[in-house]
Every structure is written in structure tokens, then in C-alpha cells.
């Protein structure tokens, strides 16, 4: 940037050396705003030149995280002696006769030059021993948020972190060690006091035994404190004796007797020895149900966490897998001094012992350590005073020392040190020369045949990238470049004889670093000093990875790939006959504009795996009455989906899924629509021509409607009838009996059949009309995860992934969960909305960019599988036009509730239900709304034991009594019942008897059965009285139920815990 007077980088990953600021330094930018400077350091850039790659090092670079781009100051380069000149593509910056880098404008509208960097860019940082990266590895690759919480809440002492907020880079150990499938739903055990419950589990045998022959790992956890005890076993038969020792230790240390034990049904826990031990000591032994290990959630999750740490530590240190036992014991120790979501503002060891732990002794597993040799055992004055070792953990019990392996003789040792010092880069130097004041000695523990291998000092260098832990979905700022993760590289043993052309920095450097060998042959490397001035010109710019136009795409480094993607899309439209080339358009017609939407598809590491182009029409150019008439296209109702899945579970039908490829491109157009040829599409001899569209195209207003018409036509040819209750449901009869049900949601189809032959026949037939993707059994549709358990005759629905995405989108992924969606002691009203301009401004400042209606809209979709939040969403939705601080706080509370219950699952189907009966419940809360005094009505309906429909709505008029509000709620429920009866009859389950609707108000029932008008009811709107006809025709039967058994109560008010 020509206007920037100092080098400034927003991404700390580019810094090779870094010094954090004091927190009070700021810089003024062009719009007179001051932004904080987080630190300064040196940046290393690998610049691409026509004849190779040149490494340029910039000193005195400012780290300003709030910037939107990394800026190199041309003015600073000129003051350091560099010069630049223009050429046809941009500028070339030189130092003397040597070229430093080339820069050019990436687009015609860009205002900043972009430096062409090498494709694979690695940035290394020499960090202090107290950096977040080092503590992340010291704590066994513990989650970053947990480390920050430990420091912020002072849960432990000795945790000194420099710049705790700046570390957001990939950890190779975490990538290799923490990839896993989604968790089981959590089953919690409520624990009220210490030693009330311990939970236990065992894992193994491992594929690799430890050096001492251990193949199993056993974990015992005290549930109230989450204090864990780990044990390594040779065989399962050792569990009983080990468990007795652990229980004795826990009881002695706590001074309390154990009350309950919880384990799975494995024979190592369920046997006569443990049964006799529990009976003799008065311990209640509880077990999980068979084949349900998720019920033992505490130990299942703990073992998973321990071995995530084990894998991370082993892979990060590049150690033999047979060290897993050492790593496991260290992981158990680390977890005892680390925060857990089950405890508030404390760590397990503190909750267990009452003493806050000091963790300054922790060191990186596998790092190099030097142990002092006592004078009494040295060979003489000229012999070495220390032994080079590898750190294998910490003996939390017994000797209170480091567990080390001597790298030369393969001996295991324990190093005692009362005050272990923290040398630079986590080098565990416990020698007398290191300044330790404690007495040190070596204790030989055991002799084993450990291999000789020297641990790399990998703590000195680390890859800085944009991702840390894939499991928690940390994402970089959109305006920050994403670096490709690479393995840490050891320093070369001998410097290469390469030429270093440098400019002397203003202050002499105290650290000289040679380039790693993996960069290849470097002929020159320039180091340029940059002095920081107080002002900068333009800094807040937008960084966009994806090109917005075809012109930008064809000017980008991936121009050939983008051009190929456009041609693939064009050929597909040509093959399907979507358009015809025409030389001109009829008089009076207007050509619709077009656009090519360009998208990059990335893998989990952020690397581009595919470039995709889609040709779309700009539908807003269409003229009503000329380019389109009708645009409505029906959508499948979620109640229909619930009912369909309930039938499938009850009848044990097959359930599959089909996806239509390019659904909108299948619809035929009724109107003549002409479109301009998209930019980037060329056909020789047809320059200046137009497209006449013969099929629908994405972006056209009628595209959805035309696809639905096409789908109806195809289904008719396949002998599937359209449902009258939901015209997105298609039904096939065989011998007068329903044999196949297909529910279409645009291009996604759920296919349910009495047997697999019907499903396969449908797939084969529809593939003759449209291109489809056979997705097999239904597992995921419309953002809902589906699990069909045919043994239990159930289908489970959950939106766990969607909920977590919503929490992340609105910055609530680290919030504290709550037990209820709304606060029962708080009444929300319009009076809490801002009334003046000042109050509105104050609310916007408090919201901090959160858009109320966007959050509400995101949560509404969750109610399709989470009826427990429906009432809360309905209440909060009414304040969308003018929300206040209280409303936003309540909305955040709903998100916090969802965070703690994201694993909740809606289960459809139930064993023991002989018939598919429709049953309902309806209720109302009279005059609940404090602003309008209108009532809230709700209902819920059950089909074959499954809840398929629910509602919570404010009534349209004020009710003068509870009878009236209940009567209006019952009227609304009756309408739903009539519709569901039609739907079930079409599905082949006609309701012979009247549908029972439970009501908890006798007056409402009497009013429905006795059509008598009197002074207290004659004002009720006549449309609500249709319930009387349905009762008389025996389609609906209102039955009384007590309020405590009213299932619809949750849809009318926030129930207490």
C-alpha cells in the first residue's frame, strides 16, 4: 500500500518472531479512528518471482488484529533503500539490482497491490515458554477455551500466558489425534455430594502394548468432582483387585465412604468378586442396560478425551505408539488440573482436595529434558553434569517428580525438583546451572528395552495457521488468508552457503535464524528493517477469496480452472436443452440479465478442492404478466414428514432417499423468456446473440413452480397419486392397498415402501425421467439427522449439527447452558422495547451487531424437532419489530438452553402400539399477553404413539373467560385433527372412530356438546362453533383430562423446572 507508513499485519501466523505489546499502544488510521497494536515482530514472506522464489524478512512489523488485510508499506521500503518501478502488470520492488517481489492489482476495482506469494507458505514463530502454543502442548493439547478459562478465572496458579487471545493456529497433533464421529446423546447421573458415586470403565486391548506389557487402561472417576484415577493393566482379570485399591484410596483421602458405583455390564465389573466386595462394604453397584455404553457417559467421554490427548501428544512429539501408557497417565493428571463443563469456576483436583493447584511444573510431553547428575555418582570433574532425557510425564503421587527416559541408555528415571524452573521454549532444564533452588537427584525406577531415539526440539518451532481444533469448528476471519498446514521442520545441521543480501536493521538483532532446508535452494534473502510510524493510510479493506465476477476469476491465479468450471456448466445446460441460440429478440420483449455465480468448495483444512460455476437468471428483471404469471410452488409440511416417519416406524417399512440433480432445470417454461448470454460464455459465430430459454433456470421467479408441475407430471406417469392433504405427498396403491409413499421437498425425496422391491422399482422408474442420485437409506434430510432403529421400531430425529452451527454463527458456542428456555419469573412485554432514539441507539450498541430477527428465524427451524422451545420462540417473535435489551437477553437464553440440550432427540414410533390412532391434547393460558391480554392456545397430536404435530399461537381476539379461551383453542385443534384424519386415510390408516381431543376445562366441553347461546357465550365468533358440528358428526370427541396430565400445557406457558 502506497499510503501505509508502516508494515502492518492482521494475521499473526506470518510472524517468525513476536513480542506482545503492553496493551496501551494504538495507531491512528485514515478515518481518524485509533486501533490497538497487539505487538511487533519480524515477518517472513516467500515471494514468487519469474525465476524462482525469494524470501523477504520485514522487521518491526505491527500486529493489528482488527485490520482486514496484511499491508506492506512501500514508503517504509523506500526509506530502507528499496526502489520500485511500474510495469504492465503492476510494480516491481528492488533492492539494488536484486528483485524483492512483484505486486499487481488483482481486479480492475482494487486499490491495493497484491504481492505474489509462493503457493505453500509456512510461517514459524520463536515463542516464549509461556505462549499459548506451549501451554496448549504442556496441558496435553487441551482445548484453547479451557486454557483461557483457567487463566481468566485463576483456577490454578503458575499459568502465565502471553497473548492468550492471539493463538488460533493449526496443531498437527490435534488434527491427527482428535478426529472423531458425532457423540452419543448424553445420559447424566445427578450427583449431589462427594463420594456419592464413582463411575468406571476400561478400554482395550490396545493394538500396541506398552513397554511394560500393559494392554488395558482403566479409569475411575469420582462423579461430583470429576476427579479421575487412571490405571494400566495387563489383563482384564486385574480389574477387581485394582478397583478395591482405588476405592480404598478414595475413601481414605476423602474421609468418606463410597455409596454407589456405576459401570457397564462387562464381566470384568459384573462378577462374584466385585459383587461380594460391594455387598460387604454396603456399596450399591449400578450398571447400564445391555449394549448401551452411552449411559455410562462420564467415563465414555473421559476415556475419549484422555485418548484424544494421548494421540495428540504422541503424534506431536513423533514418539513410538508404545508410549501410549505414559501419555495416558499424564493425560489423566492433566485433566485433573483442567476445567470441565461439569464444574463451575474450579478444576477437579481443587474440588476434590480443596487446594488450588500450581501447574507451573507442567512441561510438554516428549520434550527434551536435562537431568542433573549428583556429584556423588559422577565419574569425575571432567564428566558431564547432566543427562539428556525425554520427558514422559509427572508422578503426581509417590515421588512428586518428572518421569524421564534417558535417551542414551534407555533408563527410566524420576527427577525431583521443588521449584522447577521454566526455561525458554519449554526446555526442561533442571540443572543447578539453571538456577533451581531445589535439591535434585536421579532415582532409577526400572530397566527396560526402550529404543534409542532423540526427540526433536519441536517446541522451538510451530506452524501458525488459521485453524486449531477441527472438533470445535474454529474458523478464521473471512478476510484473513488461510495457510496450508505443514509439519514443523527441524533446523538444518549446517547452514547453506547461500548469499544473504541484507539491509542493516536500526536495532541490532539478537537472534539469527537460518532458513529450513525444505524451502529448497535460496540464492538470496533480503531482510528489510521497517520502523513503525504513528499513522497509516488505508488499512480497513475487504479481503475476498472468491471472485465476484467472471472478469475477476479470469484474472486470478486459478483462471484456467474457473474457465473450465464455466464450460462444464454451459455444456450441461446445452445438453439438457435449457436454451436455444437466437440472433435477436422480438419487438417489445426485454432480455433478462444473467450472471455466473462462482463458488469455491473447500475441504476440512480450508484447501480448495473444486471450483463450481452456476449460470443463473436475474429474476428481478422479469416483467409480471409477460415473463411470468404465477410463481407459487407448494412445499411439504413438516407435520406430513413426522406422520410419514411415524407410519414407517410403526409398520417397519423401508425408508430411502433420492435427490434430483438440477431439479429447477427440469421444468418446462410456459412463457417466452429471452436472456442475455452470460459473461464468459462464447460460441464461435454467435457473438451478440441471445438465449431463448426453453426450460426453467435458477433465478427465474417461476422456476420452482415449473419444477413442481414437472414433478406432478412424472409422478402421474409412475402411477403415484397426489395427496389432497399435502400435494407434495405422492401415494402408490397396489391391489387397493398403499404400497409406496413419496414425500418431495423440492429436489429431496423421502421414499417409504412396504418392501424393498417397491422402493427399488420407484428409483428405477423415476431415473428414466430425471437424473437422480440414489442416497440409499434416509439418514439426513432438510438439516435433520435421522436414525431408523428397526429393532426398536423407532425413528429418531435431531438437529444437533444445525444447533451448533447456529450457536457458532451468533457467537454463543461458548456460553453457559441453562435448564429452561425462558425465565419463569420474568414477564416480557412491549414496554421493554426502546421508546426513544437514545434508547434505540443504546440497544444497538448493546446488541453489538447481533440481529434479533435473524436469531429468531434460525431458532424457528429448530422447533420442527424441538417442541420444547416452540412457546419461547412464539413469545420472542412478537418483539422482532422493536426488540429491547431484555428481549435480546431472553433470546440468548434460548440459545443457551439449546447449547445444553443440543443432543435432545425426537423419537417417533413405539413398540406395543397395535393400531395407528390419532389422539390430541389442547390447552390455553387465559389473558397471558400483558400488552393485549390475549390468550395463548396450543395443541399436540399423537399418531401411533408418536408426537407428529404441535402448535403454540396467540389467539386473534381477547377472551372474556377461561372457557372462551379454551373453546377457541379447541376449535383450532379440531381443524388440525380434521386435516390429519384426511392425511392418515390417504396413507391407508383411516380413522374409524372419533378422534379424541383432551381438554382440561369442563365448561369448554359442555359448550361444544350443548349448542346453547346465552349472555356469556353469544359473542363468540361463529367460526369457532364449527367444532359443534364435528362433535355431532362423531369426527371429534372432547374428553376431560386433569391439568397435571395436560400434554399441551408446555405450548401455552413456560413451565417451571
Output the pLDDT for position 1016: 58
pLDDT tier at 1017, thresholds 50, 70, 90: low
pLDDT tier at 906, thresholds 50, 70, 90: very high
What is the rounded CA–CA span in Å between residue 230 and residue 326? 11
Output the pLDDT for position 456: 30
Output the pLDDT for position 177: 66
Residue 136 · residue 167 · CB < 8 Å: yes
835 to each of 147, 830, 839, 884, how far by Cα in Å? Answer: 42, 10, 6, 9
CATH assignment of 172-353?
3.30.420.10
Residue 345 · residue 236 · CB < 8 Å: no
What is the rounded CA–CA span in Å between residue 189 and residue 296? 9
pLDDT tier at 869, thresholds 50, 70, 90: very high
Q: Can you read off the three cell numbers belonging to residue 639?
A: 407435520
Average pLDDT, integer, range 723-733: 93
Residue 873 · residue 853 · CB < 8 Å: no
pLDDT at 555 over 70: yes
- HEC states along 73-92? CHHHHHHCCCEEEEECCEEE
Q: Can you read off the three cell numbers belonging to residue 517?
A: 532446508
Mean pLDDT of the chain: 76
pLDDT tier at 760, thresholds 50, 70, 90: very high
Output the pLDDT for position 494: 35
pLDDT at 258 over 60: yes
φ/ψ (deg, to 5) at 415:
-105, 120
Output the pLDDT for position 454: 31
Average pLDDT, integer, range 586-592: 85
Output the pLDDT for position 176: 65
Q: Give kind and range of the element (H or E) at residue 1029.
A: helix 1026-1032
Average pLDDT, integer, range 553-565: 79
Cα 155 vs. chain centroid, distance in angstroms?
A: 27
Average pLDDT, integer, range 505-526: 37
- The listed range with the strongest mean pLDDT (152-161, 264-273, 286-295) is 264-273
Output the pLDDT for position 87: 74
Q: Which residues in 837-854 are b (16+ Cβ under 10 Å) and which e?
A: eeeeeebeeeeeebebee
Residues 6+ apart with CB under 8 A from 32: none
pLDDT tier at 936, thresholds 50, 70, 90: very high
Average pLDDT, integer, range 58-74: 82
Q: pTM of the entire structure?
A: 0.50
Taking only the tens place, the pLDDT of each residue in 450-479 is 233 333 322 222 323 333 233 333 233 333
Output the pLDDT for position 908: 92
What is the rounded CA–CA span in Å between residue 604 and residue 465? 13
Question: Phi-psi category of 536—alpha, beta or left, where left has phi over 0 and alpha has psi -120 to 50?
Answer: beta
Q: Among 759, 575, 781, which residue's Cα sits nearest to residue 659? A: 781
Q: Lowest mean pLDDT of 301-305, 511-515, 970-974, 997-1001, name the range.
A: 511-515
Q: Can you read off the three cell numbers belonging to residue 591?
A: 432480455
Average pLDDT, integer, range 667-694: 87
What is the rounded CA–CA span in Å between residue 193 and residue 200? 18
Average pLDDT, integer, range 523-543: 32
Taking only the tens place, the pLDDT of each residue in 377-425 is 666 777 777 777 888 876 655 445 677 777 655 444 444 443 333 333 3
Q: Edge to edge, what strands does the sheet with 83-87 contain? A: 83-87, 90-95, 98-104, 114-115
- HEC states along 553-588? HHHCCCHHHHHHHHHHHHHHHHHCCCEEEECCCCCC
pLDDT at 294 over 90: no
Q: Can you read off the three cell numbers belonging to residue 370?
A: 536435562
Q: Can you read off the three cell numbers belonging to residue 572?
A: 450441461
Average pLDDT, integer, range 354-367: 80
What is the rounded CA–CA span in Å between residue 163 and residue 160? 10
Q: Among 246, 261, 248, which residue's Cα sits nearest to residue 196? A: 261
- The DSSP line for 613-674 is EEEEE-GGGPPBTTTBS--------HHHHHHHHHHHHHHT-EEEEEEETTGGGGPEEEEEEE
Output the pLDDT for position 109: 54
pLDDT tier at 162, thresholds 50, 70, 90: low
Q: Among 889, 886, 874, which residue's Cα sits nearest to residue 830? A: 886
Output the pLDDT for position 170: 57
φ/ψ (deg, to 5) at 175:
-60, -40
Domain with CATH 3.30.420.10 in the chain: 172-353, 913-1051
Output the pLDDT for position 798: 92
Q: Lowest mean pLDDT of 606-615, 703-712, 735-744, name the range.
A: 606-615
What is the rounded CA–CA span in Å between residue 327 and residue 394? 10
pLDDT at 569 over 90: no
What angle (nearest 5°) sits at the alpha carbon of residue 201, between those of residues 196 and 206?
Answer: 160
Average pLDDT, integer, range 328-355: 84
Taking only the tens place, the pLDDT of each residue in 7-58 is 888 877 777 777 777 767 777 765 556 778 888 888 888 888 877 778 888 8
What is the rounded CA–CA span in Å between residue 983 and residue 995? 13
pLDDT tier at 602, thresholds 50, 70, 90: low
pLDDT at 541 over 60: no
Residues 6+ apart with CB under 8 A from 877: 856, 860
Question: Phi-psi category of 498—alpha, beta or left, where left has phi over 0 and alpha has psi -120 to 50?
Answer: beta
- The listed range with the strongest mean pLDDT (776-780, 913-917, 980-984) is 980-984
Number of C-beta neighbours around residue 787 at 10 A:
13
Q: Helices 272-281 and 239-254 meet at what angle, rounded to 10?
A: 20
Residues 6+ apart with CB under 8 A from 510: none
Average pLDDT, integer, range 103-119: 70
Q: Lowest mean pLDDT of 24-33, 151-160, 476-485, name the range.
A: 476-485
What angle (nearest 5°) sits at the alpha carbon of residue 448, between those of residues 443 and 450?
Answer: 110
Average pLDDT, integer, range 677-696: 87
Residue 1051 · residue 955 · CB < 8 Å: no
Output the pLDDT for position 1019: 57
pLDDT tier at 179, thresholds 50, 70, 90: low
Output the pLDDT for position 893: 94
Output the pLDDT for position 434: 33
Average pLDDT, integer, range 988-1009: 90
Number of C-beta neighbours around residue 371 at 10 A:
24
Residue percentage of the chain with pLDDT more than 70: 75
The better pLDDT of the pair 168, 519 is held by 168
What is the rounded CA–CA span in Å between residue 901 and residue 914? 32
Report the relative pairing of strands 34-36 and 39-49 from DSSP bridges: unpaired
What is the rounded CA–CA span in Å between residue 937 and residue 940? 11
Q: Give kind and range of the element (H or E) at residue 317.
A: helix 297-317
Average pLDDT, integer, range 989-1003: 92
pLDDT at 950 over 60: yes
pLDDT at 870 over 80: yes
Taking only the tens place, the pLDDT of each residue in 311-327 is 888 888 888 888 888 88
pLDDT tier at 865, thresholds 50, 70, 90: very high
pLDDT at 681 over 80: yes
pLDDT at 742 over 90: yes
What is the rounded CA–CA span in Å between residue 788 and residue 592? 46
Domain 913-1051 in this protein, CATH class: alpha beta
Q: Among 876, 898, 903, 905, which residue's Cα sits nearest to residue 815? A: 898
The better pLDDT of the pair 185, 225 is held by 225
Residue 91 · residue 22 · CB < 8 Å: no
Amino acid at each position: 500500500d502506497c499510503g501505509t507508513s508502516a508494515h502492518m499485519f492482521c494475521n499473526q501466523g506470518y510472524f517468525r518472531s513476536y513480542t506482545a505489546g503492553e496493551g496501551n499502544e494504538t495507531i491512528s488510521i485514515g478515518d481518524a479512528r485509533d486501533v490497538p497494536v497487539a505487538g511487533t515482530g519480524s515477518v517472513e514472506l516467500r515471494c514468487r518471482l519469474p525465476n524462482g522464489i525469494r524470501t523477504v524478512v520485514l522487521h518491526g512489523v505491527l500486529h493489528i488484529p482488527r485490520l482486514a488485510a496484511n499491508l506492506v508499506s512501500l514508503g517504509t521500503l523506500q526509506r530502507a533503500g528499496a526502489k520500485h518501478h511500474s510495469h504492465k502488470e503492476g510494480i516491481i520492488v528492488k533492492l539494488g539490482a536484486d528483485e524483492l517481489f512483484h505486486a499487481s492489482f488483482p481486479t480492475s476495482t482494487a486499490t491495493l497491490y497484491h504481492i505474489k506469494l509462493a503457493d505453500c507458505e509456512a510461517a514459524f514463530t520463536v515463542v516464549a515458554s509461556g505462549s499459548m502454543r506451549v501451554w496448549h502442548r504442556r496441558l496435553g493439547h487441551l482445548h484453547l477455551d479451557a486454557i483461557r478459562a483457567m487463566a481468566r478465572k485463576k483456577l490454578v496458579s503458575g499459568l502465565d500466558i502471553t497473548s492468550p487471545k492471539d493463538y488460533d493456529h493449526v496443531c498437527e497433533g490435534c488434527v491427527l489425534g482428535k478426529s472423531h464421529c458425532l457423540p452419543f446423546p448424553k445420559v447424566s447421573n445427578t450427583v449431589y455430594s462427594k463420594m456419592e458415586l464413582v463411575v468406571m470403565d476400561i478400554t482395550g486391548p490396545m493394538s500396541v502394548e506398552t513397554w511394560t506389557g500393559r494392554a488395558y487402561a482403566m479409569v475411575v472417576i469420582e462423579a461430583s468432582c470429576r476427579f479421575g484415577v487412571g490405571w494400566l493393566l495387563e489383563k482384564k482379570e486385574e480389574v477387581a483387585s485394582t478397583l478395591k485399591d482405588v476405592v480404598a484410596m478414595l475413601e481414605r483421602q476423602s474421609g468418606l465412604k463410597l455409596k454407589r458405583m456405576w459401570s457397564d455390564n462387562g464381566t470384568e465389573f459384573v462378577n462374584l468378586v466385585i459383587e461380594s466386595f460391594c455387598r460387604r462394604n454396603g456399596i450399591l453397584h449400578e450398571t447400564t442396560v445391555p449394549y448401551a455404553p452411552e449411559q455410562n457417559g462420564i467415563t465414555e467421554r473421559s476415556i475419549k478425551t484422555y485418548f484424544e490427548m494421548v494421540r495428540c501428544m504422541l503424534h506431536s512429539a513423533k514418539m513410538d505408539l508404545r508410549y501410549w501408557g505414559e501419555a495416558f497417565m499424564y493425560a489423566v493428571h492433566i485433566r485433573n488440573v483442567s476445567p470441565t463443563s461439569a464444574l463451575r469456576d474450579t478444576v477437579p483436583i481443587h474440588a476434590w482436595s480443596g487446594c488450588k493447584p500450581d501447574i507451573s511444573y507442567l512441561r510438554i510431553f516428549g520434550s527434551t529434558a536435562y537431568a542433573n547428575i549428583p556429584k556423588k555418582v559422577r565419574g569425575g570433574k571432567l564428566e558431564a553434569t547432566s543427562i539428556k532425557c525425554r520427558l514422559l510425564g509427572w508422578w503426581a503421587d509417590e515421588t512428586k517428580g518428572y518421569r524421564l527416559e534417558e535417551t542414551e541408555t534407555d533408563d527410566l528415571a524420576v527427577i525431583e525438583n521443588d521449584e522447577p524452573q521454566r526455561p525458554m521454549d519449554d526446555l526442561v532444564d533442571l540443572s543447578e546451572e539453571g538456577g533451581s533452588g531445589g535439591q535434585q537427584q536421579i532415582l532409577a525406577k526400572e530397566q527396560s528395552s526402550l529404543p534409542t531415539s532423540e526427540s526433536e526440539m519441536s517446541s522451538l518451532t510451530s506452524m501458525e495457521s488459521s485453524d486449531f481444533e477441527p472438533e470445535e469448528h474454529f474458523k478464521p476471519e473471512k478476510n484473513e488468508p488461510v495457510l496450508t498446514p505443514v509439519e514443523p521442520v527441524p533446523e538444518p545441521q549446517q547452514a547453506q552457503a547461500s548469499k544473504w543480501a541484507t539491509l542493516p536493521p536500526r536495532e541490532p538483532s539478537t537472534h539469527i535464524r537460518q532458513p529450513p532446508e525444505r524451502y529448497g535452494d535460496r540464492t538470496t534473502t533480503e531482510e528489510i528493517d521497517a520502523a513503525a510510524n504513528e499513522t497509516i493510510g488505508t488499512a480497513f479493506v475487504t479481503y475476498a477469496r472468491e471472485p465476484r465476477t467472471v472478469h475477476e476469476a479470469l484474472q486470478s491465479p486459478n483462471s484456467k480452472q474457473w474457465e473450465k468450471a464455466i464450460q462444464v456448466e454451459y455444456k450441461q445446460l446445452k445438453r439438457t436443452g435449457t436454451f436455444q441460440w437466437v440472433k435477436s429478440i422480438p419487438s417489445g420483449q426485454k432480455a433478462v440479465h444473467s450472471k455466473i455465480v462462482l463458488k469455491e468448495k473447500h475441504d476440512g483444512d480450508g484447501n480448495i478442492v473444486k471450483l463450481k460455476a452456476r449460470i443463473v437468471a436475474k429474476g428481478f428483471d422479469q416483467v409480471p404478466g409477460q415473463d411470468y404469471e404465477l410463481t407459487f410452488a407448494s412445499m411439504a409440511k413438516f407435520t406430513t414428514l413426522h406422520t410419514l416417519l411415524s407410519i414407517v416406524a410403526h409398520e417397519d417399512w423401508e425408508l430411502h432417499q433420492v435427490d434430483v440433480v438440477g431439479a429447477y432445470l427440469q421444468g418446462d417454461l410456459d412463457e417466452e423468456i429471452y436472456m442475455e448470454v452470460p459473461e464468459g460464455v462464447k460460441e464461435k459465430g454467435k457473438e451478440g446473440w441471445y438465449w431463448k430459454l426453453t426450460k426453467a433456470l435458477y433465478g427465474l421467479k417461476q422456476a420452482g413452480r415449473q419444477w413442481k408441475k414437472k414433478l406432478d407430471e412424472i409422478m402421474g406417469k409412475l402411477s403415484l397419486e397426489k395427496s389432497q392433504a399435502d400435494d407434495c405427498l405422492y401415494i402408490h396403491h397396489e391391489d387397493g392397498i398403499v404400497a409406496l409413499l413419496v414425500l418431495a421437498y423440492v429436489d429431496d425425496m423421502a421414499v417409504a415402501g412396504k418392501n424393498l422391491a417397491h422402493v427399488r422399482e420407484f428409483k428405477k422408474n423415476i431415473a428414466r425421467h430425471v437424473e437422480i442420485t440414489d442416497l440409499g437409506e434416509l439418514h439426513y434430510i432438510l438439516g435433520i439427522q435421522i436414525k431408523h432403529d428397526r429393532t426398536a421400531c423407532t425413528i429418531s430425529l435431531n438437529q444437533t449439527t444445525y444447533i451448533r452451527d447456529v450457536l457458532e454463527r451468533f457467537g454463543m458456542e461458548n456460553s453457559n447452558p441453562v435448564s429452561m428456555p425462558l425465565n419463569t419469573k420474568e414477564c416480557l412485554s412491549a414496554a421493554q422495547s426502546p421508546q426513544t432514539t437514545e434508547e434505540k441507539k443504546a440497544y444497538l450498541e448493546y446488541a453489538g451487531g447481533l440481529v434479533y430477527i435473524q436469531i429468531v428465524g434460525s431458532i424457528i427451524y429448530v422447533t420442527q424437532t424441538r417442541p420444547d422451545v416452540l412457546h419461547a420462540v412464539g413469545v420472542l417473535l412478537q418483539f422482532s419489530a422493536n426488540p429491547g435489551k431484555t428481549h435480546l437477553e431472553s433470546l440468548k437464553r434460548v440459545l443457551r438452553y439449546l447449547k445444553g440440550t443440543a443432543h435432545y432427540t425426537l423419537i417417533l414410533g413405539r413398540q406395543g402400539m397395535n393400531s395407528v390412532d390419532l389422539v390430541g391434547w389442547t390447552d390455553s393460558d387465559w389473558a397471558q399477553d400483558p400488552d393485549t391480554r390475549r390468550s395463548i392456545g396450543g395443541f399436540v397430536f399423537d399418531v401411533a404413539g408418536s408426537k407428529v404435530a404441535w402448535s403454540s399461537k396467540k389467539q386473534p381476539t381477547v377472551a372474556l373467560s377461561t372457557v372462551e379461551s379454551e373453546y377457541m383453542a379447541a376449535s383450532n385443534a379440531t381443524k388440525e385433527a380434521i386435516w390429519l384424519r384426511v392425511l392418515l386415510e390417504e396413507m391407508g390408516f383411516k380413522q374409524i372412530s372419533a378422534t379424541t381431543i383432551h381438554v382440561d376445562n369442563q365448561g369448554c366441553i359442555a359448550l361444544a356438546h350443548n349448542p346453547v347461546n346465552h349472555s356469556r357465550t353469544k359473542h363468540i365468533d361463529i367460526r369457532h362453533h364449527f367444532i359443534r358440528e364435528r362433535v355431532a358428526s362423531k369426527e371429534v370427541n372432547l374428553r376431560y383430562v386433569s391439568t397435571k396430565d395436560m400434554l399441551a400445557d408446555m405450548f401455552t406457558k413456560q413451565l417451571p423446572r
